[in-house]
């Protein structure tokens, strides 16, 4: 069975070939935000897929929603990208966690002075 590696965290999950990355993440209890129920219309489930990953080619809905430039840079919609083999995914940092991390870094810099 193919595997997906989710980063950060380096969590590896076995998946069925042809399964969407969003569905695999959900089964593994990895949160990827989305509102459209996997229809590719909200673009909230954007992820970065590493270059050597084996995923399906983007369909028209995905091309239209995120554009060719983003697709060539490795961005995909988790609800549209289907696993074809080994896949490595970079998940975007949660906005709340990013804000807390930034604040803690600022506090650490202030403490050094």
Q: Which two tokens stand for residue 14?
A: 């076995």
Residue 98 has pLDDT above 80, yes or no: no
Element (H, E) at 6: strand 3-7
Question: What band does 113 get if pLDDT is binned at 50, 70 and 90?
Answer: low
CATH number of 29's domain: 3.10.20.30
Over residues 90-100, the mean pLDDT reads: 82
Of the pLDDT bands very low, low, confident and very high (cuts 50, 70, 90), residue 64 is: very high
Question: Residue 57 has which token pair?
Answer: 């080619």
- pLDDT tens sequence across 41-61: 899 999 999 999 999 999 998
Structure token digits, residue 39: 């229809």
Which range of residues forms the domain containing residue 60? 3-112
- pTM value is 0.81
Domain count, the chain: 1
Residue 24 pLDDT = 95
């Amino acid at each position: 069975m193919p595997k997906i590696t989710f980063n950060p965290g380096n969590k590896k999950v076995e998946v069925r070939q042809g399964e969407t990355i969003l569905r695999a993440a959900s089964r593994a209890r990895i949160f990827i935000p989305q509102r459209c129920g996997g229809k590719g219309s909200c673009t909230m489930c954007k992820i970065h897929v590493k270059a050597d990953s084996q995923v399906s080619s983007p369909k028209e809905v995905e091309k239209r929603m995120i554009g060719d430039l983003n697709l060539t840079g490795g961005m995909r919609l988790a609800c549209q990208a289907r696993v074809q083999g080994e896949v490595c995914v970079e998940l975007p940092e949660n906005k709340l966690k990013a804000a807390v991390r930034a604040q803690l870094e600022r506090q650490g810099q202030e403490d050094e002075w």
